[in-house]
Amino acid sequence: MATARCVAYMAHMLGMQREEEKGMSVANKLRERIATLYLQNEKDNWDWPQGSASMTPGPEMGLFSRTVPGIKRCIVLKNWFKRSGSVWSGDEERLFVEHLKNVTLVQEMISTGELTKYDDKIRFGYSQWQGFNEGIFSIRYSLKTLSEMVSSNHMCAII
């Protein structure tokens, strides 16, 4: 899809209208096929049909590449923020959790995702939102997507 878009752009810059139209036609067909596949689970989380919402790349790539249909962009963004985090059992984090005595605070931290019940123990969450513990490729698209979609001029209501 990206290659077809590049070909269309180069054709446009060279004044080759017929080739530009062909390139965009191919790009749009591929975009529609990808969107159909990724929205097949009807959960609007932009996940491949046999996957889970925590898999990557997912919504960040779909939103960045504008493969997510316009009508679904805000809901996919909202669902991206609902992804659960994973646990981190590092020494400092483990010690922090062990010294928490306030049961109300612990329950509040579990409800926000900062703490997670895992293996019959309470663990510190690696991330309340797993979107930023994905790796070197998707972080690039995550940051660019957030920069574009959560600006003061073009804000999807996340909450």
Q: What is the pLDDT of residue 29?
A: 97
What sign results for the dihedral spanned by CA atoms 143, 145, 150, 153? positive
Weakest mean pLDDT among 26-30, 88-92, 122-126: 88-92
In one letter, which amino acid is 8? A
Closest CA to 63 of 153, 5, 143: 143
Tell me the pLDDT band of 159, cut-offs 50, 70 and 90.
very low
Q: Is residue 95 pLDDT above 90, yes or no?
A: no
Weakest mean pLDDT among 37-41, 43-47, 81-85: 81-85
Q: Tell me which of 80 and 86 has the higher pLDDT.
A: 80
Q: Tell me which of 33 and 126 has the higher pLDDT.
A: 33
Contact between 91 and 70 (Cβ < 8 Å): no
Q: What is the pLDDT of residue 42?
A: 83
Q: What is the pLDDT of residue 56?
A: 61
CA–CA separation, 33 vs 55, rounded Å? 20
